[in-house]
Amino acid sequence: MHTVTAHGANIPALGFGTFRMPDAEVHSILPQALKLGFRHVDTAQIYKNEAAVGDVIAKSGIARSDIFLTTKVWVDKVGHQAFIASVDESLAKLKTDYVDLLLLHWPQSEMPLADRMGALNELRQAGKVKNIGISNFSTALMDEAVRLSEAPVVNNQIEYHPYLDQTKVIDKAHETDMSVTGYYLMADGAVPKDEVLKDIGSRHGKTAAQVVLRWAVSQKGVIALSKTSTASRLSENYDIFDFTLSPEDMDAIHKLARPDGRIVNPRHLAPEWDR
């Protein structure tokens, strides 16, 4: 598996996401993902499965240093001490002294962005966090986060799939050597049924889902999160590095973007998106 490098962080380009995955599923499927070769695991405080993720990693037999672990601070952690304490709690649940990447989960919070970026920097200086980043940030807020941070902002995790054009965010990330992690790549189940994607897949002996994961990681600085609760799909999601999409394939996938393509848009959390 290849990696994406941003400000010295080497991030496996294909990650295993645990959004909406209860503890039982984490205990069932994550060990198989790690055995298969996944080395990038993504969780969050709000997923309420950090403890299960920590259990699996601790029991995996894989060196902690060989796993890139990401978690995210939820927006209700308001005030410096509450923010820091929440991360200490996350580390305890994850059974680790540090996470490789800590993200602000959404931009809207009662805690000012300057204070949250300051807390991220303090955690990094304390060695509890190797790298810091943001999630669901617009280009304007990306600029603001970079301006407010002494340490480099390594990643912006965003909704990304063929139906949502994120060119502006990705281009903005390139300006400051920031990486982008795409979530919701299957577009809530639309991807596997898409005739254009199935046709491209048939020419490569791959599924539409594999085509989209490959499309994502073929782009400069882009990391893809895959997620499944079905063991049989694990190997499918992982097996995306043995074929190459042509420029024509890439272009055809990009052309699927549409103005109403965004799926995740909670008004109380989201920024004013780029148009």
Q: Please give the structure tokens belonging to residue 77.
A: 């952690």
Q: Please give the structure tokens belonging to residue 223.
A: 């990391």
Alpha-carbon distance of 163 to 184, in angstroms, equals: 11
CA–centroid distance for 71 within its chain = 9
Sign of CA pseudo-dihedral 20, 27, 156, 146: positive
- Residue positions annotated with a catalytic role: 47
Q: Please give the structure tokens belonging to residue 166.
A: 């994120």
What φ, ψ does residue 226 adopt, rounded to 5°? -105, 155
Binding residue per annotation — 7? Answer: no
CB 90 within 8 A of CB 100: no
Alpha-carbon distance of 112 to 118, in angstroms, equals: 10
Cβ atoms within 10 Å of 88's Cβ, excluding its own: 11
The residue behind tokens 């795409």 is 182
The annotated binding site is made up of 105
The annotated binding site for substrate is made up of 105
